[in-house]
């Protein structure tokens, strides 16, 4: 994580530091490095609130990608019962956070999260 001064790429706030997350683990604990590709010449910087929303978006995308694999009968982290439960709880947490925030997230729509929650509800949970 790097800190800089400037404006947030999502909400354009200029007060306070902005943060760049580049290394970490995704929702399923797989390592990722968003800035490794040499083609990424313009990294995005976010204020604290937008950084949190970016993390929510990344988790949502990870869960959605695994759901799509599960739905297509491919190998998926969601085929593991505990990961399935954890993913559903995370979606519920994301929904709660989005509902509690003033205004709309610059990265996620509550309706998208709700739709994925409904899809997971209709999927057969692994044992």
- pTM of this structure: 0.81
For residue range 25-46, list pLDDT tens digits in order: 778 877 765 555 555 566 778 8
Q: Please list the residues that pair with 3 across neighbouring strands.
A: 19
For residue range 59-98, list pLDDT tens digits in order: 999 999 999 999 999 999 999 989 999 999 999 999 999 9
* Residue 2 binned pLDDT confidence (cut-offs 50, 70, 90): very low
Calculate the alpha carbon distances from 76 to 2, 68, 73, 79, 122 in Å. Answer: 32, 9, 8, 5, 17
Domain segments of the chain as ranges: 2-122
Please give the DSSP secondary-structure letter assigned to residue 79.
G
For residue range 117-126, list pLDDT tens digits in order: 999 998 876 6
The more confident residue out of 113 and 33 is 113
Calculate the alpha carbon distances from 112 to 48, 61, 118 in Å. Answer: 23, 10, 10
pLDDT at 91: 97
Q: What is the rounded distance in angstroms from the CA atom of residue 28 to the CA atom of residue 63?
A: 8
Cα three-residue angle 17-18-24, rounded to 5 degrees:
125
Q: What is the rounded distance in angstroms from the CA atom of residue 66 to the CA atom of residue 86?
A: 13
For residue range 11-26, list pLDDT tens digits in order: 887 777 787 766 567 7
pLDDT higher than threshold 80 for residue 5: no
């Amino acid at each position: 994580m790097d800190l800089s001064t400037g404006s947030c790429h999502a909400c354009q706030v200029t007060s306070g530091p902005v943060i760049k997350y580049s290394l970490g683990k995704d929702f399923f604990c797989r390592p990722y490095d968003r800035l490794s590709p040499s083609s990424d010449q313009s990294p995005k910087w976010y204020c604290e609130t937008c950084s949190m929303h970016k993390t929510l978006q990344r988790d949502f995308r990870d869960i959605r990608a695994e759901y799509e694999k599960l739905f297509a009968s491919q190998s998926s982290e969601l085929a593991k019962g505990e990961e399935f439960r954890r993913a559903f709880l995370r979606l519920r947490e994301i929904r709660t956070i989005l509902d509690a925030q003033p205004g709309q997230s610059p990265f996620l729509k509550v309706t998208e999260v709700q739709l994925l929650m409904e899809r997971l509800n209709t999927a057969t949970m692994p044992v």
